[in-house]
Structure 1
Amino acid sequence: MFSVEFRYRARKIYKSVKQIVELVSNVLLFLASFLAIILVIYRFGFDMPADYSHEIYYTYRAIIRLFVVLGLLRFLFNFRLLRAEKGFWIEVLVLLFLFALTLFSKHFDRPDFEETNPFLFKVERILTYAVVLLLSIIQLSKQIFVVLRSRVKAEVLFAASFLFIILLGAVLLRLPNATYEGISFMDALFTSTSAVCVTGLTVVDTGATFTLTGQVVLLMLIQVGGIGVMTFTSFFAMSFLSGTSFHDQFMMKNLLNEASLSDIFRTVVYIILTTFIIEGIGVYLVYMQVQDVAEIDNKLFFALFHGVSAFCNAGFSTLPGNLYDPLIRHLYGLQVILAFLIIFGGIGFPILFNYGRLLHYGIRNKIKCLLGMNYKVVHEPRIVSTTTRIVLPTTLILLVVGTALFWIFENHNVLDGMSFTGKFATSFMGAVTPRTAGFNNVDMSMLHVPTIFLTIVLMWIGAAPMSTGGGIKVTTFVIALKNIWANLAGNDRVVIAHRQLTRENVNRAHSIIMLSILWIILAVFVIVILEPKATLTQAVFEVVSALGTVGLTLNLTPHLCVASKMTIALTMFVGRVGLITLLACFIRHQEVKLYTYPDETVIV
């Protein structure tokens, strides 16, 4: 019907129009996303007239319409490519939701709607702000993935992402509406670092200093820091960004420690869903525990804050005395719930997913056997990984031994006068919380020296790898012990669960231990110089607590000078990101040499 030349020119024009539309769309989306974030900061961070808040709300409505139009254009020009992506249906659902929100917007604009339906009115406002903010974060995540396409080292990106969120958090915590009477930049930076690095060390009273807006900011920093900045951004970007390169996926494979490139998207989605499911259950249980505490005004936010803080191993509390506050000191059920949230957060996502896979494998084959039909039972050898075989027994031993020793050391001290249930719950929490959680359910300054030493050891060992916790990690600790045993036995191999560990694995474990000890020595040396009134025990305790991202304190941190605060803040950052990761940012990887030097023995 049409000539070849006409079709060629039509395709050429179509490609040109498509490129122009994509360019304009990207620019508009970036500007709209940036404007949305600035407006939400202005809306909730500053005092303003009521007319201004209405104008911001209607601006958000306009941004939603812009997202709908640009989304439809994107589907129109790239439908085939989008259909092949894993996040296709997520994007379809988001677009339909935005379209429905736009259609019903006129219904919400009726003059009498707020009076007749106050609950729906609030829900619609919250949804509008939340959806626009979420979509804006998605757009910024895409920009981060554009950076990923350049040859940026994964270690640099990982460290820079945490540093950026820390600085942004410090700015947000200094907003007028975030605090009751203002806060210095140093205190805001320290608090933001503690939240993003899920440590829990504070230089101000969280409940008395920060308003509800400030506490919401803290909660968001804890959540982002707990799951990991790159996990959030990769989830959003890989869900909605088309054409991620092989280099992008390979970098995310390294960041997420995933064995297969095809499993990256699924792993990230599982991490997000698992986190929110466990936190949701924890929030509900905490909410039920504080129902009878009349002094807690906003019980739902209290449960949300403490549930997220516990799972992310942050240790932040809105009460002045943390879990030792008189309001909840005797709620032993609450302490046990928070303890299990800490354990689930500190045990690591790979271990949770590993046992989820084992459960799925067992149930699937059991059903096939019960049906008695011609179903083939799939056999998968060694579903439980070597990491899981290390983490779970070691965690159990540390919890049992820690609980028993805490009970023995403090039975006639801080546990004196408690019931059997109270002693068990307090001792159990005393063994759980040093493993990077930071909640204190006793007066830390009253503990005996052996208990303080036990706490320091537990803080240094920390939690499992790829978890919300810190420390040198239990796998590192076990690998080093196994290597020592192998040397004593004259064995040149380290074997765990009938698997031989690579020399690289063993060397990395010893490097982590050595670097952590060196940093502790250096930081303690700086603290004892800057704080002459502090005892050596206090200095060691604070530094190990910061490096292990724990958050427990012997009441030294609130009284530190500015230089000491900077030292502890830097230690928290080092503990969260990892010394090896930080050093790898500045040290160039050497190529594998195809030659070796003659062996030599040095007296050791």
Structure 2
Amino acid sequence: MLIRKKLVKRIDRAILLVLFVGFALSIYQIAFPKEGQVASTVLAILRKIPWLAMTLYLVKWFLQHFIRKSPKMFDRRQLPDLTFAGLLFLYEKLKYHVEFLYSDWFLYVLLSVFFVVRIIREGHIIKDRRLTPSMLFGFSFAMLIFVSTALLLIPDVTTHQMTFVDALFTATSAVCVTGLAVVDTASAFTPLGKDMLLVMIQIGGLGLMTFTNFFAVLFRGGMSFRNHLILNDIIQPDQPNSLVSTLVKIVGYTLIMEAIGVFLIHYVSNEKFFTNSYDSWFFSVFHAVSAFCNAGFSTLPDGLFNGGFRYNYPFQIIICLLVIFGGIGFPVVIDLYNTVRSLFRSLFQWLFMRQRFVFLARNLNVHSRLVLTSTTILLVLGMILYFATEYNNTLQDHPTIFGKFTQSLFGSVTPRTAGFNTVDMGGLMQGTILVYLLLMWIGASPSSTGGGIKTTTFTIAISNIVALVRGKGRVELFKREISEDSIKRAFAVMFISFLIIGLAVFLISIFEPEQQLTKIAFECFSAYSTVGLSLNLTPELSTPSKFVLIVTMFLGRVGMFTILFGLFKKVGSSSHRYPKENVLIV
């Protein structure tokens, strides 16, 4: 029995090693120039890897089912391994009969997907006790970025061969749902490339851990205890035992909102703008997903500034609503759902079952109230400021009051991590740029598809300042006292954000001495907050500056505080405390 377990563990490691070699060689084959003989040798090795992985899967399955006291044919716990072996067997049998299965790019995609699925599903193989939930969250994004980079380097994905740096930049921007682009999305990608970009945005918006565990629940009836703890740390539901239902609600809410967005966008879009019905529906799907995930990517030349949609106000309002619903955060949506459900249940029982109406004194928790209030204030304030600063500038192109209102709303919503633009960003007033910097820095709400320091962080910091000015020793919101830990975390997040953005501005100003500091700062704020707006600077950046923005986008999406939280060892509580002493601040 002990020997069998050791063999199974070693086969697990061998499978991971084989798939890693396949993934690494796929990236090498795609991204790096080499002689023809070397490329042929690497390709020959890659074609052997699916067969080798299938053999290892079958050997592992045989050891676990037959080399035991009571052999049995099937075991539900090992069904995924048997499924993977079956898929690889079908690939080996069908690749000589189906042309696209034998193509090089399909082999690269197959090996990359199998490696990512394996490393996520079997994360415990890599010293799982050392991988904290925060580290695994960042690691999953890094893996997704590298896989996406390899996919974008496939010749059939783009209309012209992308460089490795541009592919890495685009993959990071898509996975981190930023929207900054060094190439024109409309013309640089083939239909296959746009499909891949759409998948990257969707997975990046929800997070790879959310997707993998959702499918674990869907196909296996549950998730591992380790993944349960990881997701509990990431999603942070009110009740730990409700994590699975919360996960299903998150994915269900996303698909429902995006489906509604698809039909509404298709309804208000001009069919004459597209060559056929497929293009129209794909346009609707792409922009619904991109808007809800706060990505800001568009398949239109010049983005939403395109002449066919610049004055389509219903379309812009739908985009705004999708951005808002994606940016308020899943905890708020679930809290609203529970509140509305309880209200309708009480009304139904009161009207039809003659039961006493149950009044809930506390319908929404403090987090939800804080998010909804701050979001509303920022939207209204942003609209007013945009209207005031751009009335004699970009709003002159929209003669009607409804048009000006829509543009002001769009100008208030899109800097909050969405990244769409219906105006020439280079023509904005200086006052509008300053407003955009503030809105981009604040961003969306926690546990949403958006970035930034988050609305709750900014609101708690402002509330703490007001409390200090008024001489209060605590922060109170909605008749609740905010914990000291939340206040400390808010100021830590703000400080780290300024540190990262400041360092990025400093480095790019060295690499791009001829560029204006305003444009550089705008670019760095946009990258860190995963917004995607640019003052037409991104395509002009040099390679070192692109790498700076790549790191900035990654840190902005994952969160530098999250990374530090996972890297540093936690200090246990001590039984002693030192005497307190005040330090002069002002």
Give the shorter-chain TM-score range: 0.7 to 0.9
How far off is 1:292 after superposition?
2.6
CA contact 1:82–1:242 (8 Å) conserved in 2: no
Give the whole-Å Cα distance in 2 for the aligned partners of 1:546 and 1:169: 18
Give the whole-Å Cα distance in 1 for the aligned partners of 2:73 and 2:456: 46
Residue in 2 that maps onto 1:322 = 303
Q: 1:144 and 1:273, CA in 2 relative to 1: closer, same or farther beyond 3 A?
A: farther
Greater mean alpha carbon deviation, residues 417-426 or residues 316-325:
417-426
Give the whole-Å Cα distance in 1 for the aligned partners of 2:21 and 2:218: 23
How far off is 1:343 after superposition?
0.4
Pairwise mapping of residues 489-508 of structure 1 onto structure 2 (< 5 A)?
Answer: 489-508=470-489
Give the whole-Å Cα distance in 1 for the aligned partners of 2:332 and 2:71: 42
- Cα-to-partner distance string for 1:301-330 (whole Å, 9 max, x where unaligned): 111111100000000011220000112212
Residue in 2 that maps onto 1:233 = 212
Residue in 2 that maps onto 1:86 = none
Q: 1:28 and 1:591, CA in 2 relative to 1: closer, same or farther beyond 3 A?
A: closer
Residue in 2 that maps onto 1:512 = 493
How far off is 1:333 after superposition?
1.1
Q: 1:216 and 1:199, CA in 2 relative to 1: closer, same or farther beyond 3 A?
A: same
Q: 1:237 and 1:442, CA in 2 relative to 1: closer, same or farther beyond 3 A?
A: same
Pairwise mapping of residues 340-489 of structure 1 onto structure 2 (< 5 A)?
Answer: 340-373=321-354, 381-418=361-398, 419-489=400-470
CA contact 1:528–1:539 (8 Å) conserved in 2: yes
Q: 1:189 and 1:498, CA in 2 relative to 1: closer, same or farther beyond 3 A?
A: same
Greater mean alpha carbon deviation, residues 271-280 or residues 584-593:
584-593
Matched, 1:286 2:265: yes
TM-score by length of 1: 0.79
How far off is 1:142 after superposition?
2.5
Counterpart AA for 1:436:
T
- Cα-to-partner distance string for 1:372-409 (whole Å, 9 max, x where unaligned): 35x57666552311111111111111111111221121
Q: What is the alpha-carbon root mean square deviation over aligned residues?
A: 4.1
Counterpart AA for 1:592:
S
Q: In the comparison of the two structures, how many residue pairs are matched?
A: 540
Q: 1:267 and 1:22, CA in 2 relative to 1: closer, same or farther beyond 3 A?
A: farther
Pairwise mapping of residues 41-440 of structure 1 onto structure 2 (< 5 A)?
Answer: 141-144=120-123, 150-240=129-219, 246-295=225-274, 297=276, 298-373=279-354, 381-418=361-398, 419-440=400-421
Counterpart AA for 1:553:
S
Give the whole-Å Cα distance in 1 for the aligned partners of 2:582 and 2:230: 39
Q: 1:173 and 1:320, CA in 2 relative to 1: closer, same or farther beyond 3 A?
A: same
CA contact 1:145–1:248 (8 Å) conserved in 2: no
TM-score by length of 2: 0.81
CA contact 1:287–1:300 (8 Å) conserved in 2: yes
Q: 1:202 and 1:417, CA in 2 relative to 1: closer, same or farther beyond 3 A?
A: closer
Give the whole-Å Cα distance in 2 for the aligned partners of 1:387 and 1:203: 37
Residue in 1 that maps onto 2:41 = none
Residue in 2 that maps onto 1:575 = 556
CA contact 1:149–1:245 (8 Å) conserved in 2: no
SS in 2 for 1:599: coil
CA contact 2:158–2:188 (8 Å) conserved in 1: yes
How far off is 1:246 after superposition?
4.3
- Cα-to-partner distance string for 1:468-513 (whole Å, 9 max, x where unaligned): 0011100000100110111111111111111111111100001111
How far off is 1:536 after superposition?
1.4
Give the whole-Å Cα distance in 2 for the aligned partners of 1:513 and 1:27: 41
Residue in 2 that maps onto 1:121 = none
Pairwise mapping of residues 16-55 of structure 1 onto structure 2 (< 5 A)?
Answer: none
SS in 1 for 2:418: coil
CA contact 1:253–1:260 (8 Å) conserved in 2: no
How far off is 1:597 after superposition?
1.4
Give the whole-Å Cα distance in 1 for the aligned partners of 2:126 and 2:342: 39
Q: 1:171 and 1:516, CA in 2 relative to 1: closer, same or farther beyond 3 A?
A: same
How far off is 1:27 after superposition?
10
Give the whole-Å Cα distance in 1 for the aligned partners of 2:72 and 2:468: 60
CA contact 2:179–2:532 (8 Å) conserved in 1: yes
Name which of 526, 535, 543 aligns with 2:524: 543
Q: What percent of counterpart residues are identical?
A: 39
CA contact 2:443–2:450 (8 Å) conserved in 1: yes
**Structure 1: stretches of 5+ with no match in the other structure:** 1-14, 46-55, 84-90, 103-129
Q: 1:263 and 1:381, CA in 2 relative to 1: closer, same or farther beyond 3 A?
A: farther
Give the whole-Å Cα distance in 1 for the aligned partners of 2:157 and 2:453: 34
- Cα-to-partner distance string for 1:33-55 (whole Å, 9 max, x where unaligned): 999999x99xxx9xxxxxxxxxx
Counterpart AA for 1:323:
L
Give the whole-Å Cα distance in 1 for the aligned partners of 2:472 and 2:171: 47
CA contact 1:439–1:552 (8 Å) conserved in 2: yes
